Amino acid sequence: MAIAMFGVLLVLLFLNVPVAISIGVAAIVGVSFGGLPINPVVVAQRMFTSADSFPFMAIPFFMLAGGLMEHGGISRRLVNLASSLVGGFRGGLGLITILASAFFGAISGSNPATVAAIGGIMVPEMIRKGYPPAYAAAIAAAGGTLGVIIPPSIPMITFGVVAGVSIGDLFLAGFGPGILIALSLSIVTVFQSSRMQIPLEPKRTFRNFLSALRESILAIIMPIIILGGIYGGVFTPTEAGAVAVIYSFIVSVFVYRELSFDLLKAVIIRAGISTSIVFFVIATSQSLSWLITVSRVSQAIADSMLSVTSQPFLLITLINVILLIFGVFLETQAIILLLAPLFLPIVTGIGMDPLMLGVIMVVNTSVGMITPPMAVNLFVAVSLVKDHDVTIEKITRNILLFLIVEIVDIFVISNLPLLSMGILKLVK
C-alpha cells in the first residue's frame, strides 16, 4: 500500500499536479488498493474533521495580520529601524533587508508575506543603489526564510497540532535558530557585497536610531504581547492570532492611518484565498497522514530506520536529508503533516524531545522555500524584479551561497539542542 500511495504521489507531483490534489488522490489510491476494510468516502470525512481544529484557526488570523502589517505602514517602519542599526556597513541595504525580515517574521509568521512586505520596499531601493537585480531579489528571498523560524510561525502551529506539543514552547524554541540564521545570512550578504564592490551606505547617527525606534515601537512590542500572552497563559495561540489582527488593524488604520478601507477589503480577500489554499493542503495531507498511521506504515518505517542504526547523529542526519529532499517538491504544511507522524516514533526512540523535531522540521521546510521547483520565496522575489528581465534561474544562482550556509545552519541546530531549548530552560 505504501509503495502505491507514494508512487502515485511522486508521479502526480512530477506531472505538475497541484500538491493538495496529488496528496488527496494518493490517499484515495491507498484506501482503494491497500487491502484495508475502509470505504474511500472516509478520505473526504477525514479531510473535513482534520480541518475542524481550533488551533488551526490561528493560521488565517496570522495571515490576515501579516497582510495588514504589510500594507499598513508597519513593515516600512521596521525597515527604517533596521536601516538605523546596520545601514552604514558594506552592503548595508542588504543587511537592512535581512534584519527587517527578522523583525517582520517576528510578527507575521509567513515566509511569502515577509518576502513581499520587506522585499517590496528594499529590492527597488537596492537596485537603485547599484545592486544587481537578481542579487537584490536573492537577498529578499533568503531573508524571507526567517518568516517562519522566528516566532510566531504558522508551520510551528501545524506541527504543534500534529505532534500534540505546546505551541508556545515551540515559539520560544525558534528564537535561537532564527538568530543564528539571521547572523549567517548577514555574513554572507557582507561577503557577497564586498566581492561585488557594492557602494558603502552613509552611516546612521544615534539620533536616527532613536527616531526610527520611536516610530516603530508599536510594531516592536507586538511580538512581546503575542508571545508574552501565550506563555503567560493569558490567551491561546489561536486567540493570539486574533489579538494580532485587532492590534495590527488599530495601528494601521487609526494610528498610522495608512490603510484605507478599500485596501483593507483587498487584504482580507487575499488572506482568505491564501488561507483556503493552506487548508486544502492541510485537509488532504491529514487524511493521508491518518491513513499512514492506521496502516502502521509510520511504525514500520521507524522500526526499519532504527534497525539500521540507533546512533542519534546518523538518524538526525538522515531525517535532515529526507526533509531537504521533500522540500524541493512539497509545500511546507504538506511536509510537516506527512512526515511528522513518521519521524515522531524515531526521535522519541532515541530520547529526543519532540519540540526539537518541530524546530528541525520548520527550519528545513523554510529552506525548502528557496530550493526550486517548490520555491515559493523565489516566485515572490521574481515578481519584485519583473521589470528587469530577471528569471528564477538567475535568482537561484545568486542565492546558492545563502542556501549552502542555511544547510550548514540546519546541521548545527540539529546537533546543538541548547541553541533551541536554552530559552525554554531559562524560562522554566
Helices 297-308 and 312-329 meet at what angle, rounded to 10?
130
Give the torsion sign (CA, 392, 398, 402, 407): positive
Which residues does 170 contact at the CB level (< 8 Å), separation at least 6? Answer: 151, 153, 156, 159, 160, 355, 358, 359, 362
Considering the domain boundaries, does residue 236 fall inside one?
yes
Q: What is the pLDDT of residues 414-428, one digit of tens each?
A: 999 999 888 877 776
Considering the domain boundaries, does residue 349 fall inside one?
yes
Considering the domain boundaries, does residue 40 fall inside one?
no
pLDDT value for 37? 66
Please spell the DSSP secondary structure of 190-211, one letter per residue. HHHHHHTTPPBPPPPPHHHHHH
User: What's the pTM?
Assistant: 0.83
Considering the domain boundaries, does residue 28 fall inside one?
no
Considering the domain boundaries, does residue 16 fall inside one?
no
- Region class of 36: left (phi > 0), else alpha (psi between -120 and 50), else beta: beta
Provide the number of structural domains found in the chain. Answer: 1
Helices 392-415 and 175-195 meet at what angle, rounded to 10?
140
Considering the domain boundaries, does residue 4 fall inside one?
no
pLDDT < 50: residue spans in the chain: none
Residue recorded with cell 484605507: 260
The three cell numbers locating residue 423: 530559552
Residue 99's domain comprises 55-427
Considering the domain boundaries, does residue 12 fall inside one?
no
Considering the domain boundaries, does residue 305 fall inside one?
yes
**Prior bond of 133 cis (ω within 30°):** no
